[in-house]
Amino acid sequence: MKTIIIKNNDSGQRLDKFIKKSFRTFPLSLIYKNIRKKNIKINNKRANPEYKLKEADILTIYVKDELLKVVPNKYDFLKAPSLLDLVYEDENIILVNKKAGLIVHPDENYHFDSLVNRIKHYLFLKKEYNPDDELSFAPALVNRLDRNTSGIVIAAKNSEALKILNEKMKKREIQKYYLSVVEGVFTKKEGILTAYLAKDENKNRVFISSVPKKDFKTIKTKYKVLFEKNGNSTVEIELLTGRTHQIRAHMAYIGHPVLGDSKYGKKSSRFKRQVLCAYKIKFNFSEKENHTLSYLNGKEFLVGEKCLDLFKK
């Protein structure tokens, strides 16, 4: 028998998924069987697989001990560096200035070093994250940047913050601004561009259309020219929709590719990577709401000077 008191970071999950994540030696088919046989209970009452766990719930499991073995994790995140370029941090969130060249999540080529693993290592050393104490939740990223794009990435330290931020991101209540240097001089110095985008997963490339097509999604990109030099334009860009490679593809589509972007523009002898930086984040929540992260409403964070230094290289 095993008794588990549900913590805040584990609340909100389905019972069956929580048990499967917690005990990898416990087959899902047996989990369902034991729920039906009342060998798995919540607060000493019959449970169902879809039940959403709540903080302080008491989960009791009456099965053989070998099914409840916690397989030790090999914490790969400890192999990643722990040094971060912090923009902001509190008990719920952390904002990090990601360098160009660093991936945000591990992939098949880079198993250990990624931004999320660096954040986990950083919080582990601060004793704010211990995988042994968390049966399922781990610090998670709210937004992503391409490997060769620099700038601000938001991470949540707990499940409640992650849930709220994901919702706000979907509602476009978190505004994201970018700085970029693009080829050419704009006739119209500011505006909102609308087009349609589709992604080719196999090629990791997107395609733009000026008219609606099947499987193409609407994109909206707001831009403002800040200054012009040597036939190029430095622009501030706000994403009104958030699609893969949206800025790079949209700028190239209108004839102003991002400098250094070899995928949608052309190779540059001056820049090894695209000159694109997520330089500002603004939290613009509804004033009527009252939730854990309400204190962020109206706050703005930026790394403008560091982005401009990148453009001067």
Active site residues: 146
Tokens linked to 294: 């309400």
- Cα 266 from Cα 244, distance rounded (Å): 19
Q: Indicate the pairing of strand 150-156 with strand 276-283.
A: parallel
84 phi, psi to nearest 5 deg? -125, 150
- Cα 170 from Cα 6, distance rounded (Å): 28
Name the packing angle between helices 15-22 and 28-36 (round to 10°): 130
Q: What is the dihedral of CA 254, 210, 266, 276, to 10 degrees?
A: 70
Q: Indicate the pairing of strand 300-302 with strand 2-5.
A: unpaired
Backbone torsion region of residue 298, taken as left when φ is above 0, otherwise alpha when ψ lies between -120 and 50, otherwise beta: left
Q: If residue 227 lies in a helix (H) or strand (E), which one and from where to where? A: strand 217-229
Angle CA 212–218–223, to nearest 5: 125
